[in-house]
């Protein structure tokens, strides 16, 4: 079992919040979408939210389960950064999807929060976030399987903090450039 006393705070924090974040964040995102203006997608979310939350939770929990089975008691720095990127991209993807009803399109919660983005940039952010969500999840699984057990035995690591701070800015910025 790796020593956990010398592990960065961000990696301990990621490890400890992993269990509840993978279940709570999808539920909160669905609740935000349910209370935002919308149309037919609300019916879809109402009916399928238990399945969506269950799948997001189980799939989100898988990399941590693999790490724990391999003997980790913390999240390695690369995994913590990929975790932050994954859930930021997932959140922007869900919140950026526009609604629709028989009257026409309905702005997404992301468009309502940042009206300066516009519809086209918002759509680009959603597409980019979808791709990053898939790629970052694949990276999480690969890192969970192949990271050496004695990785990141230092007290300070900035990778997770940088990923948390920069990911939404990069996704929105790239969405504006595409």
Kindly report the number of other CB atoms within 10 A of residue 1's CB atom. 7
Q: Are 11 and 76 in contact (CB under 8 A)?
A: yes
| Angle value at C-alpha 15, between 66 and 69, nearest 5 degrees | 20
Residue 105, pLDDT score: 86
Whole-prediction pTM = 0.90
- Position 3 pLDDT exceeds 50: no
Residue 1, pLDDT score: 45
Residue 68, pLDDT score: 95
**Integer Cα distance of 135 and 118 in angstroms:** 26
The β-bridge relationship of strands 99-101 and 104-106 is: antiparallel
pLDDT, mean over the chain: 89
Percent of the chain with pLDDT over 90: 62
């Amino acid at each position: 079992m790796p020593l956990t006393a010398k592990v960065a705070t961000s990696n301990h924090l990621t490890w400890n919040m992993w269990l509840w974040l993978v279940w709570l964040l999808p539920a909160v995102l669905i609740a935000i979408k349910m209370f935002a203006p919308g149309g037919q997608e609300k019916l879809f979310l109402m009916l399928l939210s238990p399945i969506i939350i269950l799948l997001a939770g189980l799939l989100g929990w898988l990399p941590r389960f693999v790490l724990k089975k391999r003997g980790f008691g913390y999240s390695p720095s690369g995994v913590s950064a990929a975790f932050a990127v994954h859930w930021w991209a997932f959140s922007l993807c869900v919140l950026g999807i526009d609604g629709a009803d028989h009257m026409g399109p309905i702005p997404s919660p992301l468009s309502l929060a940042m009206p300066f983005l516009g519809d086209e940039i918002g759509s680009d952010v959603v597409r980019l976030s979808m791709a990053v969500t898939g790629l970052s999840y694949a990276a999480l699984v690969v890192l969970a399987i192949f990271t050496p057990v004695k990785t990141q035995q230092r007290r300070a690591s900035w990778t997770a903090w940088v990923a948390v701070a920069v990911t939404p800015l990069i996704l929105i910025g790239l969405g504006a450039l595409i």
